[in-house]
Amino acid sequence: MDEMAVEDVEFVPAVAAAVEGGSVRGRDEVRRFFQSLDETWETFRIEADEFREIGDRVLMVGHVRAKGRGSGVELDQPMLSVVWFRDDKIARMQSFLDEEAALEAAEREAVA
């Protein structure tokens, strides 16, 4: 992630943003966010089915597949992510559970 993202990269996870309205900022915090998934999930995979260029942004259409660590509950959830770039590096990533919302976000102006 270090070479691929700007230092102040922002990640807005779909569920956390909907529930808490929050985001994770900075390479170290984004890395910690994904590492913390190991506490909750036995397995956690994001699988990309399709990439679409929308201006200077990229829309990823795919799935989250996961299995709860303690519960064994399995999740297979469609997910979309929009990635904005600055200086040829990832500046912002936001995930969505709704295609219309993802497309609307992807069509907005670039992130500063």
Walking along the chain (112 residues) 10 residues at a time, the average pLDDT comes out as 88 70 88 87 93 92 93 93 94 93 81 50
Structure confidence at residue 37 (pLDDT): 84
Q: What is the pTM of this model?
A: 0.83
Q: What is the pLDDT of residue 36?
A: 86
- Quick one: pLDDT at residue 112? 47
For residue 21, the model assigns a pLDDT of 61
User: What does each C-alpha distance from 24 to 53, 69, 74, 104 come to in angstroms?
Assistant: 24, 23, 25, 21
CATH topology of domain 5-107: Nuclear Transport Factor 2; Chain: A, (3.10.450)
